[in-house]
């Protein structure tokens, strides 16, 4: 079993409900256990400014799935919840599930880069990650999560509560 951190985001079609549904689907994955879920955060959108704010959270999974196996499963969950992949980056979406960290692995494959290539600059990832992993977490490179937090202010971010029906904490 490896500890894997997943970033969740949505800004369409009842975003909090989208994230709760995605968490239930992740908890049902084979050889996988949902270990922890952060608070629900609201964040300013990246990219086009004329879109709704995002609902964000981070989940910890303990899984025996291999990285591309998990990526395929997460993309199937996105599709099942109405995700349409468009050419426009950072546009509105029903669901976005990103593998942030996969145990101690560093991966650079055409379909998957871990640690997630932009997590260091995204408060909506770092703060919920720290909430469930603790500021003492070290990335596979050895860099402490706290150093990333120190360089990424809590701007445009708001803690808005827990996800409906989700009471899993570390």
**What does the DSSP assignment read for 42-61?**
EEPPSS-SSSPPEEEEEEEE
The active-site residue, picked from 31, 98, 111, 162, is 98
Q: Is 93 part of the annotated catalytic residue set?
A: yes
The active-site residue, picked from 87, 89, 93, 162, is 93
Q: Is 122 part of the annotated catalytic residue set?
A: no
Q: Is 96 part of the annotated catalytic residue set?
A: yes
Per the omega criterion (within 30 degrees of 0), is the bond before 115 cis? yes
Q: Is 150 part of the annotated catalytic residue set?
A: no
Strands 96-102 and 32-37: unpaired
The active-site residue, picked from 44, 83, 85, 150, is 83
Other Cβ atoms within 10 Å of 110 Cβ, number: 5
The active-site residue, picked from 53, 96, 150, 162, is 96
Let me know: does 26 contact 34? Beta carbons within 8 Å. Answer: yes
First-to-last CA distance in the chain? Answer: 16
Which residues are designated catalytic?
83, 93, 96, 98
């Amino acid at each position: 079993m490896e500890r894997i951190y997943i970033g969740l985001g949505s800004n369409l079609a009842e975003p909090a409900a989208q994230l709760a549904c995605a968490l239930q689907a992740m908890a049902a994955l084979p050889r996988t256990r949902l270990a922890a879920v952060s608070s629900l955060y609201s964040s300013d959108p990246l990219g086009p400014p004329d879109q709704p704010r995002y609902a964000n959270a981070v989940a910890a999974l303990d899984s025996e799935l291999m990285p591309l196996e998990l990526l395929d499963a997460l993309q199937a969950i996105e599709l099942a919840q109405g995700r349409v992949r468009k050419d426009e980056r950072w546009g509105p979406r029903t669901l976005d599930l990103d593998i942030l960290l996969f145990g101690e692995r560093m991966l650079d494959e055409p379909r998957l880069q871990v640690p997630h290539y932009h997590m260091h600059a995204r408060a909506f990832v770092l703060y919920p990650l720290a909430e469930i992993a603790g500021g003492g977490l070290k990335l596979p490179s050895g860099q402490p999560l706290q150093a990333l937090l120190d360089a990424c202010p809590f701007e445009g971010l708001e803690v808005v509560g827990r996800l409906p029906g989700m009471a899993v904490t570390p």
